Chain A
Amino acid sequence: MGKKVKILCCCGAGICTSNYLREEIEDRVKEEGLNKNVSVNLCRVTDVDETLATGNIDLLVTTVEMKNDYPIPMIRALGIMLDENAAKKALDEIIANVRKVMEN
């Protein structure tokens, strides 16, 4: 068992598209048999800095453009909602990042 991976999803309101992402990510994580290893939290884009400062977040997944750079991997994942190929690609990338964190 590797370490627990924390994913943060953010969007403009912190309720709408970020929630959509969380559901899709959790479904895929379950398929991969990793649901014991991953937690997904939500926040508004305006609260990202604060959340990252306090939360040991490993991966940031977002539907909006981010103004700053962060020290953790960031995945733009709006495509998860709109396009099946883009969704697969983004979810593959998320899972790859999760596995990388677990190995370290």
Chain B
Amino acid sequence: MGDKNTSQDILYDAVILKEAKTKEDVITELSNHLLKKGYVNKDYCAATLDREDNYPTGLSTKPIGIAVPHSNPDNVLTEAVIVAVSENLVKFNEMGNNTSLVDVGIIFLLALKGENNHLNYLKNIINYFKQSNNVNFFYKLRPEKQIKNIFLKDVLQIQ
């Protein structure tokens, strides 16, 4: 597990969202973050919003939900994974169940190219956040640097 994730070329970043109130706010803000850094093209945001509308990615972990928005690799220039903690809980639709909503506080934007990468990240993220004490601990982490450290060390286990 995780060997493929040690690539030096992947950007890992942590963001604290103070203003976001909707899932569109979250995805737009995180996509723009990547766009500014030159990791995705200008179509990435719309494609990911569209994907989220059709095939939602909210997961009802306890006591707060997580979401793993992603879209096809065409708009990704350089691979990146951003973890965001949103101070406002934001409603995402639940994965595989388009009618139920999840209050999400932690978001992982997966801007990846290779399908196996997707799989490894998803597995590591779900395994960690299945445990509610991990959800609680992670949601309270501050500042960004600390969020990133714990994400790499405990969630992805690559440092």
Residues of A contacting B: mostly: mixed
> Contact between B95 and A17 (Cβ–Cβ < 8 Å)?
yes
Q: A20-B119, A20-B122, A23-B119 are in contact. Are A12 and B97 (CB under 8 A)?
A: no
Q: A12-B55, A19-B119 are in contact. Are A78 and B95 (CB under 8 A)?
A: yes
Count residues of B near A (Cβ-Cβ below 8 Å).
21
> Contact between A13 and B126 (Cβ–Cβ < 8 Å)?
no
Task: List B contacts of A78 (CB < 8 A).
Answer: 95-97
B21 within 8 A of A: no
The interface size bin for chain A is 10 to 19
> Contact between B123 and A20 (Cβ–Cβ < 8 Å)?
yes
In angstroms, Cα B70 to Cα A19, docked, is: 14
Task: List A contacts of B95 (CB < 8 A).
Answer: 17, 63-64, 78
A72 within 8 A of B: no
What 10 additional pairs, Cβ within 8 angstroms, besides A12-B54, A19-B119, A78-B96? Answer: A13-B55, A13-B72, A16-B110, A17-B95, A19-B118, A20-B119, A23-B119, A63-B95, A65-B98, A81-B126
State the B residues within 8 Å of A (CB): 51, 54-55, 59, 68, 70-72, 95-98, 110, 115-116, 118-119, 122-123, 126, 130
